[in-house]
Chain A
Amino acid sequence: MMFVSTAEFTSCCGCLSSLLEVGEPLVSLLSEHSVSFSELVDFQDISPSDVTIVWGCIGDEEDERIANEVSRMSKKIIAAGSCAVYGGISARMQQLPSKERVPSSLSRFEPVDAYIPVDLYVPGCPPPGRILFEALKGTLEDYTPIHYDYTVCSECKRKCEKKHTGRWFKRNERIPVEGICFLDQGFLCMGPVTRGGCHASCTSRGAACIGCRGPSDTVLLSHLHSLYSDMLHYISISTTGKRAKPEKTLEEYIDLLYLFTLRDPVTKERPRERLPRTKEEK
């Protein structure tokens, strides 16, 4: 029997909600192990734990204090969700003009591993429950969870047609045709640069990928080493076969590109071994 815990920083509880989705297998797994601390039970004092899942980005001093304590008490830490892995949506605060920023004590919004070491990364906003569950189970039972090194495109069932050459459309600008690749229809879709594992749930329901699982391994390890230019590069290759000029409409997309992985500078500054990838590659 091992101790499992969860800790929450600045987050929306979406990752917890996603994990609970698993249902019966989760209840069975937890009945074999023991919960040490979690927001779902009454007991929240941080105590020794074998595996701790953390979600949310580090928002302020209090988050940092909890993170350090969790790190001290836990043997292994799983960072779940784009906030914990990349800073996520809250980190967009960093983009605000400085006069509109919140007081400095409230404006860190950094990924968890900027403060404490992390053993396993599970990106996604939120990560699908089964992937999170698999990561937890794997860590508890000491096997390596599946590494999703492929992109959303490889899971998407939409057909590729003639390459699109005109201007790009914003996500809701016109009605996309069912069953045909979004990029070929002129919609920017983050599929080619986004980590898979989600069964392409968005593109199969008529909406283009917004990259919530973060960059794929190819992008992370690319020589350009800037998320924005990398994504642009790979998307233009998979559409026109040529490197595209960053048109005006594409630039407008910067918000969506960076919705979950805003911290381009952080990724740039991180040493390569600290890039958020799964365990076996470290």
Chain B
Amino acid sequence: MGQMISIDPVTRIEGHLRIDVEIEGGKVKDAWSSGTMFRGFEMLLKGKHPFDAQQVTERICGVCPLAHGTASSYNLDDALGVELPDNARLIRNLCLGANFIQSHILHFYHLAALDYVDVTAVLNYSGSDQALLLLKGKISKLAQANDLYPFMPRYDSGDYVSDPGLATTLVGHYVQAFEMRKKAHEMLSIFYGRVPSFVGTVPGGVTQPPTIGNVLAFRSRLSELRRWINEVYVEDIKTIAGVSAYKPFLTAGDSGGNYLAYGGFDEDSRGDKKFLPRGVIFGNDIMNVMPMDEKKLTESVAHSWYKEECEGLHPSEGKTEPDLEKKEGYSFIKSPRYNEKPMEVGPLARLLVKKPEMFVKLASDLGLLTMKPLQFGILPRHAARAIECKIIADEMDNWLNQLKPGDPIWDKKGIPSEARGRGLVEAARGALGHWIEISGKKIKNYQCIVPTTWNASPRDKNGNRGPIENSLVGVPVPDPDNPINVVRCVRSFDPCLACAIHIIHPDHNGVKAFRVV
């Protein structure tokens, strides 16, 4: 058996994730991903008024409340039989789009970029750009005080970008990104009041009508963001992807070639046509996108701390009943599967299904399309995120044009005494589904499958690893004391654990028991 290392918690992600890897011959041989928190929001919702679901599920996660609120609204719309007015559909798209922008910027600059850039290189900057010199001054002050937080310390690596000019520019963008993210949130609050945990969408529509004033306010911020995404974000990704030392990461970290996208951003009122299309890809056969069949979704709990009777159910029938004594368990995350296969969700999956020109061109420039078998690793995942951010921001401008001030924003429907509904949307991190069963005008059952549940899921009953576990296998780790590549790989998925589950339990003996086995 190779050497075991544990990273607990993986930092600079949202929530608590523990990764155990077995290293042999300088590479990861096997991996286990454990979500070590539990919150059980689904249990909270039983017996509640169906309209409360949206406010409660928004609080599942403070980074992507928009996605949950939107999924919950679509879920209720479906159960109530709402015919969504165009204005409401567009405003939901615009606000979800703004959330994508802020989330992608936050992830790349504030959570992931420091894995690739040597901040101390800023001290050697010799250029004449005033803003960068100011930044150099700030960082050298921190360095003199021997305190480079929040930039240091972290795992040491010989391959950080250390060219002073480039590194300084990138660190400068790290600081700019705070302001850009703030702009995206301002844009969102024009229609939704505030973020996180907004109020503006409700089952049946939205609460704030479009007016000339708020469309203008939205557009002015959007134009600034589009410019920044084009000129800074996308270019930075291309720069990092082009660094020769990072070439292995183009393919290392491939999750196994199964991709799933529920599709997002409806372009008609029934949601048949979507800006990001729905589809499934198996075994890296990216030219063969199959239609998605909702009946093939199941949740396995073979290695999760939930009771056996929760095994293999469709999410609309799903159960969430914890069982901490389970010997095979090592995570609070369930294992959702499509056709019994683990699926990667997120920007890479969405873009492989949609195949926008810009992404195809970049992939072919990087030589990814001629490889056999096809592999999409850590850097393509980051690149997909940036390009998606750009195409959504560009499309948002068109959606703004389609808003019609004065038209209805709400289709009011009463609550049926018995109904079922489901809301499938795309969140920044991947496919998000909410399912509801209403009985006696109350919630009988509410289940959510969030993107990180797909990506960070543990093994299922057939022993198939989850996508993050699978992607870690083969990642080079020359020095077991310095597992930087492991965290680079995990972070490229943008895991969000608050969504997936909650409650820290790092010392749970389930993990140890599993390791001995």
Contacts and interface: CB of A to CB of B under 8 A. Distances in A.
B410 interface: yes
Nearest to A41: B150
Given A27-B178, A102-B43, A201 B48 contact: no
Interface in B337-379: none
Given A42-B153, A89-B59, A106-B38, A174 B412 contact: yes
A235 to B, nearest CB: 18
Nearest to B206: A206
A128 B196 CA distance: 9
A38 B9 CA distance: 12
B194 A202 contact: yes
Contact of B200 (A16, A42, A205): A205
A21 B185 contact: yes
B181 to A, nearest CB: 7
Given A14-B196, A23-B181, A89-B59, A59 B150 contact: no
Contact of A23 (B9, B178, B189): B178
A1 B182 CA distance: 27
Given A102-B322, A198-B194, A207-B193, A10 B503 contact: yes
Interface in B188-202: 189, 191-197, 199-200, 202
B38 A255 contact: no
A14 B62 contact: yes
Interface in A18-64: 18, 20-24, 26-27, 30-31, 34-35, 38-44, 59-60, 62-63
Nearest to A89: B59
Contact of A10 (B39, B141, B149): B39
A62 B153 contact: no
Contacts of A204: 193
Nearest to B442: A252
Interface string A183-211: 00000000000000010011011110010
Contacts of B203: 172
Interface residues of B, number: 70
B199 A207 contact: yes
A21 B106 CA distance: 11
B503 A205 contact: no
B15 interface: yes
A41 B154 CA distance: 9
A255 to B, nearest CB: 6
Contacts of B479: none
Contact of B40 (A13, A23, A30, A102): A102
Contacts of A21: 181-182, 185, 195
Given A12-B61, A14-B65, A30 B196 contact: no
A24 B175 CA distance: 8
Nearest to B36: A62
Contact of B49 (A14, A105, A252): A252
A39 B506 CA distance: 16
A15 interface: yes
A29 to B, nearest CB: 12
Contact of B324 (A39, A88, A103, A210): A103
Interface string B305-322: 000000000000000001
Given A14-B62, A34-B147, A105-B324, A96 B43 contact: yes
B207 A42 contact: no
A238 B179 CA distance: 41
A96 B507 CA distance: 27
Nearest to A24: B179
B505 interface: yes
Interface string A162-179: 000000001110110010
Given A12-B62, A93-B44, A207-B207, A259 B39 contact: no
B178 A42 contact: no
A229 interface: no
Contacts of A1: 145
B193 A92 contact: no
Nearest to B189: A201
B60 interface: yes
Interface string B39-54: 1100110101101100
A106 B181 CA distance: 35
A141 interface: no
B142 interface: yes
Interface in B19-60: 37-40, 43-44, 46, 48-49, 51-52, 55-56, 59-60
Contacts of A17: 62-63, 195-196
Contacts of A93: 40, 43-44
A5 to B, nearest CB: 10
Contacts of B51: 170-172
Given A12-B59, A105-B324, A202 B506 contact: no
- Most-contacted residue by chain B among A14, A16, A59, A128 (CB, 10 A): A14
What are the 4 closest A-B residue pairs judged by CB atoms, nearest first? A14-B62, A206-B207, A205-B193, A207-B199
21 contacts: A10-B503, A13-B61, A14-B197, A17-B196, A23-B181, A31-B138, A43-B149, A44-B9, A59-B503, A62-B504, A89-B56, A125-B197, A170-B49, A170-B51, A171-B202, A174-B412, A175-B410, A202-B194, A204-B193, A205-B192, A207-B199
Interface of B: 9, 11-12, 14-15, 37-40, 43-44, 46, 48-49, 51-52, 55-56, 59-63, 65, 106, 110, 138, 141-142, 145, 147, 149-150, 152-155, 175, 178-179, 181-182, 185, 189, 191-197, 199-200, 202-204, 207-209, 322, 324, 410, 412, 498, 502-507
Given A21-B185, A31-B142, A106-B503, 12 more contacts: A14-B63, A18-B62, A18-B196, A21-B182, A102-B40, A106-B322, A128-B194, A172-B202, A205-B191, A205-B200, A205-B208, A207-B207
